[in-house]
Amino acid sequence: MKDQATRLRELVNKNYKKSNNNSGEKSSANGARIITISSGKGGVGKTNFTVNLGISLSKMGKKVVVIDADLGLSNVDVVLGLIPKFSLNNVLSGEKNIEEIVVDAPGGIRIVSGGSGIMNLVDLEKYQLENLVSNLDSIASDSDYILIDTGAGLSNSVMSFIEASNELVMVITPDPTSITDAYAVVKNIHRDDRSVKVVINRVDSNKEGFEVYHKINSATKKFLNFEVESLGFIYEDLSVKKAVRNQRPFILENPNSLASKGVDMIAYNLENDTKNLNKVNGFSRFINKLLNSV
Ligand SMILES: Nc1ncnc2c1ncn2[C@@H]1O[C@H](COP(=O)(O)OP(=O)(O)OP(=O)(O)O)[C@@H](O)[C@H]1O
Ligand SMILES: [Mg+2]
């Protein structure tokens, strides 16, 4: 197993050097911000948030790819009402290249369905690894944001994604178990060079949002000596449920709803969060780190 990971690391390093040697030009592979979206507890609104955030960023002129890395049932395609025919599994097998599996989705974003293979990187054959790395690199070079929607919690695969990305957004609801479960994830992954941002979903007031943020931040400050950043709040909003039922992103169904305004504010905050830009990495590095964590 280790040999496999070592081989991929070599491959990735080779690709990384190549993409950085492009006649002094800034490597476009370095342009994409890779952000993992996760939560402690399931069902807190990660997938809806990820898709609608992607659309909001796209409205700001950004090129966004959403990778559905959740093997559970309530996936990105369900929220968007489309069923991709192919997934990264077809890239791994060499049948397709990434451009053939990327699906254009409503709101100007593009979707990559993870498939089951993405979670078992160490089990892949060399040719599959090569396919994956070069294909993901090519998509990263043509994007501003890669948003990875993961499952909830502390499973190995989710932790690998979190470990690999420099930017993590945790979605939290005011539900006490959501807060304690999110704390458990942050406790496991916090590191000085990684920013952990939080989005408080389903709040009834700004006051409630601030209170939830304060709860998690005071716990991480006290016990981990680490502060999480607030990206903003999303209100509990009936239009979200209605949009889910219609399989349409709520930000397109109802752009002026409270929930949509919250997502727009979060997109704005993310785009203007310049503190962490020096930590932006290309996909090669991301995969490299992913392998270091398996
Ligand atoms: N701001 C909101 N207002 C009202 N309802 C919401 C809001 N956010 C999410 N929901 C409800 O929560 C449900 C679950 O959302 P979603 O599927 O995005 O969660 P998830 O965290 O991705 O779940 P899983 O852990 O299963 O992947 C939605 O179908 C919707 O009914
Ligand atoms: Mg989900």
Tens place of pLDDT for every residue, the chain, 294 residues? 445 556 556 655 555 455 444 433 333 345 688 898 999 988 999 999 999 999 999 999 999 999 888 765 557 888 888 888 888 888 888 888 888 999 999 999 999 988 776 666 656 677 776 777 777 778 888 899 999 888 777 666 666 667 777 789 999 999 999 999 999 989 988 777 778 999 999 999 999 999 999 999 999 999 999 999 999 999 999 999 999 999 999 999 999 999 999 999 999 999 998 665 555 555 666 666 666 655
What pTM value is reported for the model?
0.86
Give the position, in ligand 1's atom list, of the atom nearest the Cα of 48: 18
Cα of 45 vs centre of ligand 2, distance in Å, is 7
pLDDT at position 281: 54
Give the position, in ligand 1's atom list, of the atom nearest the Cα of 202: 1
Rounded to whole angstroms, the Cα distance separating 52 from 133 reads 27
Q: What is the dihedral of CA 76, 136, 281, 290, to 10 degrees?
A: 80
Amino acid at 118: I
pLDDT at position 25: 35
Q: How many other C-beta atoms can be found within 10 angstroms of the C-beta atom of residue 280? A: 14
Cα of 281 vs centre of ligand 1, distance in Å, is 29
- The tokens for 240 are 């979200």
pLDDT at position 121: 62
Residues with CB under 6 A from ligand 1: 39, 42-48, 70, 72, 74, 151-152, 201-202, 234, 236-237, 240-241, 244, 259
Nearest bound ligand to the CA of residue 43? 1
Q: Ligand 1: which residue has its CA nearest to atom 12? A: 45
Mutate to test the pocket of ligand 1, among 38, 41, 44 (most ligand atoms within 8 A of CB): 44
Among 172, 168, 164, smallest CA distance to 197 is for: 168
Give the position, in ligand 1's atom list, of the atom nearest the Cα of 201: 1
Cα of 149 vs centre of ligand 2, distance in Å, is 7
pLDDT at position 31: 66
Cα of 17 vs centre of ligand 2, distance in Å, is 35
- CATH fold of the domain at 2-292: Rossmann fold (3.40.50)
Strands 103-104 and 167-172: unpaired
Q: Ligand 1: which residue has its CA nearest to atom 25? A: 42
pLDDT at position 24: 35
Cβ–Cβ under 8 Å, residues 285 and 35:
no
pLDDT at position 27: 37
Rounded to whole angstroms, the Cα distance separating 233 from 243 reads 19
pLDDT at position 214: 97
